[in-house]
Amino acid sequence: MSNLQPPAADRNCFYILTEDCAYGNKYFQAGNLCFCSERSYLRNFSENGPPACFLKVIMLDDSSTVTINLEILQPVRQESAGFLLAIGSHSERLDLFLEGLSLEGALRAVPGQNVVVEVEREFFPGVVRYIGSIYKPSLAVLTPVFFGVELQGEGENRGRSDGSYHGTEYFKCKRNCGIFLPFSKIQFIPTSGSNNGKQKPGKQDTEEMVPVKVGDAISFYVDEIPTKGIAMAVYREGNQWFVKVCPEEAGTTDIFREIPMDSVVKESLQSSFPTFDSDGGFGKPNPTKREISKSSEEGEGGNSPLEVNSMVQITLDKGNQISGIIRWLGYLPQIKDKMAGVELDEDKGVTAGEWLGKSYFHCAPKRGLFVRLNSCQPDVRFQSFPNSDLSPGDYRGQVLPDGAESLPPLRNEAAVRVLQGRMKGIQGHCNSCYMDAALFSLFSCTSVLDSMLFMPFPLCDRNVQGILRDEIVNPLRRTGFVRASSVMHLREQLTDKGQCSSFTNAEKDPEEFLNLIMQHILGIEPLLKLQSGGQKEHECYCYQIFMDKQEDLVVPDVQQLVERSFLSSDLKLVEIPSCFIIQMPRFGKEYKMFSKIIPSLELDITDLLLDSPRECCLCGDVATLECSECFKDKVFAATGLKQFCSSCSRQVHSHHLRKGHKPRRLHIPEEFQSWSARGCQQVPREKLELFAVLCIETSHYVSFVKYGPGNEHWMFFDSMADRHGGENGFNIPTVTLCPEVAKYLDLPLAVLALEQPRDMDGVAKRLFCDAYMYLYQSRKMALYK
């Protein structure tokens, strides 16, 4: 736990959540900030006691006190926490914390520093005039820290104030030239007075010595031979600044040298900038200045089939290739050829979408690259398949522009006929397995969430809904195959919504994707409505099981885990859910709480429903009392909450070991109050059926889907099961039948607990040992939602 050691001078220790978590009826997204007092921290981690796995903290958003697993907490300096708190989006806040460079720039920033700020998706120069809180003094533990910036040049009159905020003056500037922003909207430029901008005296010490920026023409020495080039990136490692240079002698725009800042000299302002000629080298100076075009000017000049969002490959030095997506097309200052701004699949770029201090597109740091458009070639991995045995047929007609076609899910023989085989399912590409597995599970063999494809929800983004329906779900149900480019189209839309800049390339979790598309984009009604202890209802889309390690639970089934989680958090379902998505308990992504979990093919939620008739667990009569202490009593069955009729409750609690129990009275619907099991009437049971399981192993997601009624009717899907063509090839998704699962589902629990995972047949081990998320459905409720 030493990595969580707080600074000795801090009165409070601040942390950021790196994963979503639920506590009771509250749900906290990754990116939430929290704190605890230093005294509380030290008491929690006393050397005299055992090492703690959980920490009691206070959430900054709502001041609630919660206990959180240390695995998902990262310490944050108080100064950094103030800057992060100014960012409203939890996901963006976490991304910036993990990226670190922008936050470091904010911490080093000083009034008077030149910056570039983003205002309504445009970028303007400015000067920092104020750094601090813009809220009135309060008793809050931490207040957000903003930057007050005076806009200059083209940014004048694009601001919102004269340096005042809500009647309080923080700095002075002309009207509509001031603006207050979080650091996420600011690009920090190193100050010219810093040592980073100086150079060592040398042969060219008469030339202008100014800080180098991206796009500057520069000179440097290679084996004492003067060489010219253009700065493609400026970055810092430790206390030293470096320039990534595209040198003239290389003969191509795609070979770089990394040179210390103090070993390069910016070319004289009177000299011309080098330009790229048609052969890829540096040509004669271009005396005319071309106007910068916007990405909408895609077709100007040339007949290239490539456009914004095209997936391309770029050949670098020594024949190496990199892949990415075109995010911008147009002309850059001082360069005559049409250029492409490409977001790369890997960290092999030199920028985050900026050129000469202006941003042309957004991507993660070191993922952006500007190259000549004719240096880009269509990504062959998504154009055609080299061998007929890998070809899934001609699916160029996948997209259905003429309307919302409705194709039913695949079941029984139809599922086997359409889905089974290599190059079947959803093709994986660039960390997409979390999305591939979730989409295949939700839409291949069930229609429980088909309302996502058609219903005009209040917040519905029709473009995303159309891509999901026409480019993914319908092709999957028609041909059994979805190209990676279709999923990438959806990932681009998720990125464009501004929720997170890394949906096209970074590893994510299924619940992050599902929460984003269901809640923030399509705006569908929450799948779950929960109530805790008679308090206000809480709504969510996925339910995370949180529970302490329990020695008596060695190989649990899903029914036991859900019941214990609901009981420990005093939760009830307000209504029967049409779809119940359950995340298994874990200590972080790596550590599983249980080595094996038995899938419950049916999930009995009768006793989990609020104000629903319950059955006495002893005589079967209508229950009137519930006892949480009896739930832990090993005399009773291992599953099922313990509720009793009045008569049985008196008998059970007459035992001297149970006299201290405090049964809670249940609300019985009026129409059931006169019922009696002895009169041959039974309390109806509400059960959900399991239709899919998502599994994870070493950060790779796969899924099991039930396609028929029998225990043997399971199929296994892996979007990256195989690969064709090595590094520059493509993934081969595969769907296989796995009837061997039935063998283990039919075993008695005691026998199954003794089964060694390595001895299990086929892929059965993955289902029992790697389960991450279980998906249940109510067929009758799905008819109404």
595 phi, psi to nearest 5 deg: -70, -30
DSSP code at position 99: H
Beta-bridged to residue 13, according to DSSP, are: 36
State the Cα angle at 205 between 239 and 285, rounded to 5°. Answer: 95
CB 99 within 8 A of CB 365: yes
The residues annotated with a catalytic role in the active site are: 433, 700
Residue 197 CB partners (closer than 8 Å, separation 6+): 190, 191, 209, 210, 211, 212, 261
What single string gives the DSSP state of each residue in 249-309?
Answer: GG-STT--EEEEGGGEEEPPTTSPPPEE-TTSSEES---SPPPPPPTT--SSSS--S--TT
How are the residues of the chain apportioned to helix, strand and coil, as percentages rounded to the nearest 5?
A: 25, 30, 45
For the stretch 557-560, contacts whose Cβ atoms lie closer than 8 Å and that sit 24 or more positions apart, written own/partner, are 557/597, 557/598, 557/599, 557/600, 557/639, 557/749, 558/582, 558/597, 558/598, 558/599, 558/600, 558/603, 558/690, 558/774, 559/600, 559/603, 559/604, 559/639, 560/638, 560/639
Place of tokens 């997209």: 399
State the Cα angle at 340 between 338 and 344, rounded to 5°. Answer: 165
How far is CA 722 from each of CA 428, 726, 732, rounded to the nearest angstrom?
10, 10, 5
Nearest to 555 by CA among 773, 759, 744: 744
Rounded to an integer, what distance in angstroms lies between the CA atom of residue 343 and that of residue 322?
10
Rounded to an integer, what distance in angstroms lies between the CA atom of residue 264 and that of residue 705?
59
Beta-bridged to residue 390, according to DSSP, are: none
Q: How many CB atoms lie within 10 A of CB 592?
A: 18
State the Cα angle at 368 between 363 and 372, rounded to 5°. Answer: 135
Residue 773 CB partners (closer than 8 Å, separation 6+): 510, 511, 542, 581, 582, 583, 584, 693, 694
Place of tokens 């994963």: 19
Rounded to an integer, what distance in angstroms lies between the CA atom of residue 173 and that of residue 167?
15
